[in-house]
Amino acid sequence: MALITCPECGREVSSAAPACPTCGYPVAAEQKTLSEPTAPSSDVLAEIRPSWWGYFWYLFFFWLIVPPFIAWWQRASILLRIYPGRVTVERGLFSKSFREFRARDIRSIDIDQSFLDRVLGIGDLSISTAATTDASEQLKGIPRPHDVRDLILTQREGR
């Protein structure tokens, strides 16, 4: 039996006593409620995750680094070569696709440019051959597309 302090009057009382002899405060009932563990509730009151602000620099550099890598990858995967009498298009880095056109089989070369493309000097080049009704090869973002078209046309005419 230990001595405890009565929460009501502040005097020392035996832990076995049902009530404080001075003020009558029920000490035994107080001891019982303190010693009984409360049952855990299954209701979730809140789920808290760290703020996105803590990951700001990760997100910022993700968007800063990934698009240039994708642009480099796509640019490196397309190569247009113009030879005397033929034109080749090579696509892919790991798996490769080669297309070769004889210059005399090329029927039309179309160039599409928006206003910004014209300012920047780039354009989309579409090459159609005698064997196809639609454009058989479309190349986007070709620098100086009019010069490329003129070079292919001079090869087609045999100059």
Here the CATH number for the domain that contains residue 110 is 2.30.29
For residue 115, the model assigns a pLDDT of 95
pTM surpassing 0.85? no
Question: Would you say residue 75 lies in a domain?
Answer: yes
Question: Would you say residue 64 lies in a domain?
Answer: no
64 phi/psi in degrees, rounded to 5:
-80, -30
Taking a C-beta distance cutoff of 8 angstroms, is the pair 131, 105 a contact?
A: yes
For residue 39, the model assigns a pLDDT of 60
Question: Would you say residue 132 lies in a domain?
Answer: yes
Question: Would you say residue 147 lies in a domain?
Answer: yes
For residue 118, the model assigns a pLDDT of 93
- On whether both 90 and 149 belong to a single domain, the answer is yes
- On whether both 23 and 81 belong to a single domain, the answer is no
Token representation of residue 38: 């409360």
- On whether both 92 and 150 belong to a single domain, the answer is yes
For residue 137, the model assigns a pLDDT of 86
- On whether both 10 and 76 belong to a single domain, the answer is no
- On whether both 137 and 77 belong to a single domain, the answer is yes
Question: Would you say residue 23 lies in a domain?
Answer: yes
Count: domains in the chain:
2
Question: Would you say residue 80 lies in a domain?
Answer: yes
- On whether both 12 and 81 belong to a single domain, the answer is no
All residue ranges of the chain with pLDDT < 70 are 1, 30-41, 45-46, 48, 51, 133-135, 159
Question: Would you say residue 13 lies in a domain?
Answer: yes
Q: Which residue range is the domain that position 100 belongs to? A: 71-156
For residue 119, the model assigns a pLDDT of 92
For residue 1, the model assigns a pLDDT of 64
Question: Would you say residue 65 lies in a domain?
Answer: no
For residue 96, the model assigns a pLDDT of 92
For residue 135, the model assigns a pLDDT of 65
